[in-house]
């Protein structure tokens, strides 16, 4: 299946930004957005460049997709726009599912921007390959993989793992729930088992077995 890297996403975000009244489009996206009207948002040619399961989107659905694309753009390694990411969420918006070694976590407010900063420190060249996008009303569901180089420290309950430069590429499923053009809930499900294996963090089965053994 064809994978869409950030050169494509950056261009599409530029078109989305026009539709949402955001700032000027990046120069590399100029030819793509030249004929994109503000009132129509993502055009048919824009949508054709995305792995959509259904390209017959309503204007409302296109606007929601544009918000999600801007969120991914804010998290790109050479962008890392924490403030821009936070601004896409509703006042009571929440991100669920980022937990890793400490279990599931819910993030709100400034914590949302903190996630962007943390990811940029851990994987400075982070980018996402969008593999399948489904838009249904106010819900945008995306299958993707998060890729990057382990160039920053990774904190664990046992201490900090120093960077090794290892390349990581782990599957993720994102579910975005929007309300009035803002993200109300973002559920992010990361395949941490795959990530840990690629980082060389092997599970401690012996300790788990010992902890579960009946006491004598």
pLDDT digit string, tens, across residues 134-167: 999 999 999 999 999 999 998 887 889 899 999 9
The pTM of the full predicted model, rounded to 2 decimals, is: 0.78
Return the number of other C-beta atoms located less than 10 Å from residue 3's C-beta: 13
Q: Is 169 helix (H, G, I), strand (E, B) or coil?
A: strand
Q: Is 16 helix (H, G, I), strand (E, B) or coil?
A: helix
Residue 26 has pLDDT above 80, yes or no: no
Return the number of other C-beta atoms located less than 10 Å from residue 129's C-beta: 20
Mean of all residue pLDDT scores within the chain? 81
CB of 114 within 8 A of CB of 83?
no
CB of 10 within 8 A of CB of 50?
no
Per-range mean pLDDT, top range of 6-15, 39-48, 93-102, 131-140: 131-140
Q: SS3 letters for 140-178?
A: EEEEEEEEEECCCCEEECCEEECCCCCEEEEEEEEEEEE
Share of residues in the chain with pLDDT > 90 (%): 59
> How far is it, in rounded angstroms, from Cα 146 to Cα 171?
6
CB of 171 within 8 A of CB of 60?
no
* Amino acid 181: pLDDT: 96
């Amino acid at each position: 299946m064809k994978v869409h890297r950030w050169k494509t996403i950056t261009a599409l975000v530029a078109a989305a930004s026009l539709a949402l009244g955001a700032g000027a489009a990046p120069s590399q996206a100029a030819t793509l957005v030249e004929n994109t009207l503000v009132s129509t948002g993502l055009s048919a040619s824009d949508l054709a460049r995305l792995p959509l399961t259904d390209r017959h989107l309503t204007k409302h659905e296109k606007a929601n997709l544009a918000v999600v694309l801007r969120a991914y753009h804010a998290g790109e390694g050479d962008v890392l726009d924490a403030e821009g990411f936070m601004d896409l969420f509703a006042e009571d918006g929440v991100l669920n599912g980022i937990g890793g070694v400490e279990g599931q976590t819910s993030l709100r407010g400034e914590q949302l921007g903190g996630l962007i900063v943390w990811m940029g420190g851990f994987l400075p060249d982070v980018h996402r390959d969008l593999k399948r996008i489904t838009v249904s009303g106010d819900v945008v569901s995306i299958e993707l993989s998060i890729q990057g180089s382990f160039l920053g420290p990774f904190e664990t309950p046992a201490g900090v793992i120093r960077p090794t430069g290892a390349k990581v590429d782990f599957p993720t499923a994102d579910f975005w729930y929007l309300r009035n053009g803002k993200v109300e809930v973002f559920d992010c499900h990361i395949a941490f088992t795959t990530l840990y294996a690629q980082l060389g963090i092997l599970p401690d089965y012996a300790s788990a077995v010992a902890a579960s053994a009946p006491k004598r």
